[in-house]
Structure 1
Amino acid sequence: MKKVLVVFLLIVAGVGAFLYFPRGGASTSAQSAATLAILNTAIEGARAGAAFAPALDGEIYATGDLVRANVEGRAVLTFFDGSSLSVDPGSQVKVVALNRVSTDGIQVTIEQSLGRSWQSVQKLKTPDSRYEVRTPSTSAVVRGTGFLTFVQQLTTGGTQTTYQVDEGTLQVNATAGGTVSVPAGTQVTIAEGAQAPANATPIPPSPRLEITSTGGLGFLVVAPTGQVCGPTGSKAEIFGCVVGPDKVSVREPAAGRWGLVMTSTGAVPLGTLSVDGFIGTARNAGRTTGRPYAAGDMVRTGLTLTPGPPLGLSAFEPPTLVTSVCAAAATGRVFASGPVEGRADSIRTFARDNKATAVSLVFTEAELNQAVNQNA
């Protein structure tokens, strides 16, 4: 009876419903490896030289494992120190080495043979820690930074690698010789067989969102595609996201609705969240919302970004108190309260008058367990 009830709920309550658990072999631990989050379908993994097979959300990847995305696939590898690697469609990366050193140290070597990736690297905590990226034409050494790597196939044969740095500094070595320092706001491109240039060049002006909180608020940003990024939970799934203690920056943000989730561990007389749109250094638009927060409050809101130039930002949606992160980050009209058995009926009623409107149905683990126990 328990299995019948749970299956019924998942089928009726949401086509995209799933439960997330880290997976992996008995010898692979998330404490010394990387966890895969699949943001879109069509991600494949290969373990230690084995054939590629469909990857599962929550799988554990370690030294020698490969992840690749087809033209529609997107995924994020989150390492045990909180650093993350976002893989764009059509990309292939390999974890050449991944080791825990000293007490909190990490040594990572990533090999990228094709496509785009975004890497958000935590500040390395020990002298023997190291984070390195290798491509066919370069190797780059990182010590706490956010940067894009783009390995592009050339029509003349071979590849070229472009690094664009949004935070921190990269030390890039060309396979053919030479080293160049790439600080924040600059880029470098090196083709196979070419030496490193003397200097990096400025990144051309591009769109950027900056989200800043005051009053000690934690927050998460939810992109139109569903990925999240922010200081709450140290999430960095959004491609091009750089996370600080009270600020998030997103390069080339997608047009559409951006969800925002604010949290407070203590009472705050006035906590604010500001969203600013830039192209290069020019501020195009800005919005600010503020309210008092009680201890433990979780508030959901959002606004819509229209592409530029200039960028446009709508007014904030009315803030709504919610009771779970899932409900706060969900897209569309959210059904996250009331009796478990009645939520599907609520969606049917809503759908009759709101055709083609996105909805999200949220159950907490505690609610599902309670429903199972009541019907055991």
Structure 2
Amino acid sequence: MKFILSIAALSAGSVAAFAPSAFMPKSLSVASSSSLNMALADGVKPIIIGVAADSGCGKSTFMRRLTNIFGGDVVGPLGGGHGTEGGWETNTLVSDLTTVICLDDYHINDRNGRKESGLTALNPIENNFDLMFEQIAALKNGDTIMKPIYNHANGTLDTPEKIEATPIIIFEGLHPMHDDRVRDLLDFTLYLDISDDVKLNWKVQRDMEERGHSLESIMASIEARKPDFDAFIDPQKKDSDMIIEVLPTALDKDDKKTLRVRCIQKEGVSDFSPCYLFDSGSTIEWSPAADKLSSPAPGMKLKYGTEDYMGKPSQVVEMDGNFDNLQELVYIESALSNTKTKYYGELTQAMLSLADAPGSNNGTGLMQTLAAFAIRDLYEKKSAIAAKALNEKAAAKA
């Protein structure tokens, strides 16, 4: 079955809203991780999530959306926080329920060491998968680890930091699904897939406009990383449970700013069921009515359908275009089902709470928020299963 509904179109948007780096903290003071972590209940094991993406592809913004949904009054920095008055450089984000660990911390060499080896950080040889596996296994068992730190500010390997297990632990970076042993420990996997054209726009926004790099140096950096990206990072899509794919708009071939974002949800994943638009299993194209959702040119279109993605049956929700008024997102929310929200309007509320974050007026923010709710739902299901098993064990002993 295929629905094609009517259209709406008004004026243009801004590329600044798409730049992932715009939401990254510059400098934050950090408390001890042990003072922030919520202790695990006896017998409860953490849920382990893997998030893969290239550098500068929006992992930081997604992590903030995720920790925002899980809650927590205190959140440490992600992506390089420079502590003051005795603080330290850390890549770890910690809230009451969630710990986010950057896999850059498992680089074997510092920046100078990689210059000598001639290898990029994308090359598995430059990463310590034995230690990564050992420490992820320890955290999944509820144990405490001393995790290394890669200092992004000066490219050095710093003194390891103490990480205690929290109910949800996310490993984000270049290689969360590369090593079979590590991949087998993950309860859910997500891949942020940014097309080459969009990645260039984002990198120009961050490195040229914010860091003063030349276009030539940016292009050279991208070209130098591409062979290793294609060989070692991109193949992880095959092993991901969900892929958020960011592409240029298909509504206007001359528009270089508007984004088309697809959320690819693989079927048959334990404790996970895909979100859908209107009618599960159908093929749908929908352009929201202009009097209910204002959208600048070239307009907006949503799609949903099933497809075979890299040999796996999948369900795909797609959004192409921007909206002017974030509060009107509730109209789109009303058309989505199985979003894993607890009440109508929670999706819109979550987006509004981070209204200034990159992607909050387009599909990147929407799909990242849907992924965050899916992870929350997965955590609650697995926690319920674990609690039931503990109760049954206690009852058997009584």
TM-score relative to the length of structure 1: 0.32
Higher RCO by CA contacts (8 Å cutoff, separation 6 or greater): 2
Name the structure where helix makes up a greater proportion of residues. Answer: 2
Decide which structure has greater strand share. Answer: 1
